[in-house]
Amino acid sequence: MESATATEAATRPGSEDGAAVADADTIQVHRPVDGSTIRSVPIDPPERVAEVVARVRAAQPAWEAMGLEGRRRWLERLRDWMLDNEGRLADVMQEETGKVRAEAEIEAPFLCGTINYYTEHAAEFLTEETPAPHILPLKVKRLRVVYRPYPVVGVISPWNFPLILAFDDAIPALVAGCAVVIKPSEFTPLSTMEVVRAWKEQIGGPDVLDVVNGVGETGGALVDEVDFVQFTGSDRTGKIVMKRAADTLTPVSLELGGKDPLIVLRDADIDRAVNATATGALANTGQICMAIERVYVEEPIYDEFVDKLAERVRKLRQGADGRSYDADLGAMTTPAQAEIVSDHVEDARSKGARVLTGGRRKDGPGDWYEATVIADADHSMKVMTDETFGPVVPVMKVRDAEEAVRMANDSRYGLSASVFAGSSRQGEEIARRIEAGAVNVNDVLTTYFAMGVPMGGWKESGIGFRHASYGIKKFVRPESIVSPRIKQGKVDPLWFPYTSRRRKFLNRANRFINARGLRKRLGL
């Protein structure tokens, strides 16, 4: 069923993805809860992107030279500003995303934690190394590895967590000494613009953080200008970005889509698994890259599991809750995503799956899709193979753990997964066989919040990782510096001129160094 606003959305002037562009010069930001316009934002053409990157590039050397302690002080001011402005930031984000209040309030506090984590651990992650020379002749040298930032990092971000998915990378890049330019999603630019405005106007931060707005053309121009691309979004766009970055051999880190499986084994605590599935699949109205998108349940507990899950999901409340915290699910942030969800559910229904609850778009203004549980799903259905990115939980019956693992791995994605088992040990055994960058045992979504472990996709879910040391080391390049420890002669043995006498000596020395066992070393 298509709501009036979905029809209207389909006729809105669109970007290549079907929405948001008002005309060639502006994007229009909507309220997903009712489809009305919040405001329009000027699009930054490629020339302007080049100007912005050149400006922050000019400021970056001073930022790098300031050292970790200096940069830490600025980022702590950003943290304090976020803490003091949490409510206002949540207002802006809630308006442009359609999130419920409890979820809009997660982002700023999470990023305060990111600032603390990287400012407190950067010295350990980026400390200079002084490796020991691996052969005797090099003992006269001092070897050092220093980590130098990519001067300008371009962060291209999606709409589902507008602040976290821009700043969870921008923060470690800034801590590392890079300048950062963010291109937020055209659907949700306002939260990022607000933080960047505060950095410039209220915090008075150095000119190393900026934002450019627009759709694909602006994102592409940013890829052309920067020294490192941090992209979060769909695998389709990620591949376009990687191809474009190849023209300038610019390194990329890609955090892409997923189709995360959840396995429930027969010994698991069913009630915990049900509650976790509901939250893991439907939080943020299912618009989470690491959302549970397919569930495999062992035969003996299958009926009980699906009945309890449907009952649990029926009780969830959906709506625009303002500041009242009385809704669990919000709106779909983009009309195009609501279309995809509808298409997947109808495809499953037509192939014999049972829709136990939900399963339709809501009438009236805005982009709303009901919380949906589908039983008897299988891999012939899009809802089990393609990223749905909406409030839908399809469940499939499996014979045993072997089949569950095989099905979980039967995907081109590999972002994360969950396993519910009778014990942590059994869950971990299964986890080690799952092809994904992160696995939760008897839990969902937690790997993202555990900053000490890396988060990133295998297979077509991405290249590169955020969090832990990986989340900052990707923004620096090792620079090796080799210098003398002792006074040196005028000529080294390997330099010109080559002579037979010196060559013979070096050959004997080479043998002595690289052979093992005295007789071999002496050539006997």
* Footprint of ligand NAD (CB under 6 A): 17, 156-160, 165, 183, 185-186, 215-216, 219-220, 223, 232-234, 237, 240-241, 255-258, 289, 387, 389, 415, 457, 462
Nearer to ligand NAD, 30 or 397 (CB): 30
Quote the CA–CA distance of 471 and 437 in Å, as a whole number: 14
Kindly tell me the number of DSSP H helices and DSSP E strands found in the chain.
Answer: 20, 19
Closest CA to 98 of 144, 151, 148, 33: 33
Quote the CA–CA distance of 308 and 292 in Å, as a whole number: 17
Cβ–Cβ < 8 Å for 453, 468: yes
Helical H segments across 249-400, by residue range: 270-282, 299-314, 335-350, 382-385
Q: Which H or E run contains 435? A: none
Give catalytic status of residue 105 as yes or no: no
For CA atoms 162, 166, 171, 174, the dihedral sign is: negative
Minimal distance in Å, beta carbon 16 to ligand NAD? Answer: 7
Nearer to ligand NAD, 241 or 355 (CB): 241
Nearer to ligand NAD, 78 or 415 (CB): 415
Nearer to ligand NAD, 192 or 442 (CB): 192
Question: Which one of the listed residues 289, 298, 370, 460 is annotated catalytic?
Answer: 289
Minimal distance in Å, beta carbon 406 to ligand NAD? Answer: 23
Q: Closest residue to ligand NAD, Cβ-based? A: 219
DSSP lists the bridge partners of residue 27 as: 21, 41
Minimal distance in Å, beta carbon 71 to ligand NAD? Answer: 25
393-413 burial by CB neighbour count: b if 16+ within 10 A, else e? bbbbbbeebebbbebbeebeb
55, amino acid identity = R
Quote the CA–CA distance of 357 and 285 in Å, as a whole number: 15
Minimal distance in Å, beta carbon 65 to ligand NAD? Answer: 31
Give catalytic status of residue 289 as yes or no: yes
- Tell me: cis bond preceding 261? Omega within 30 of 0 counts: no
Three-state DSSP state, 231: strand
Minimal distance in Å, beta carbon 191 to ligand NAD? Answer: 13
What lies within 8 Å, CB to CB, of 219 at 6+ separation is 156, 183, 237, 241
Nearer to ligand NAD, 321 or 386 (CB): 386
Nearer to ligand NAD, 188 or 372 (CB): 188
Minimal distance in Å, beta carbon 303 to ligand NAD? Answer: 31
Question: Which one of the listed residues 64, 186, 255, 460 is annotated catalytic?
Answer: 255
What residues act catalytically? 255, 289
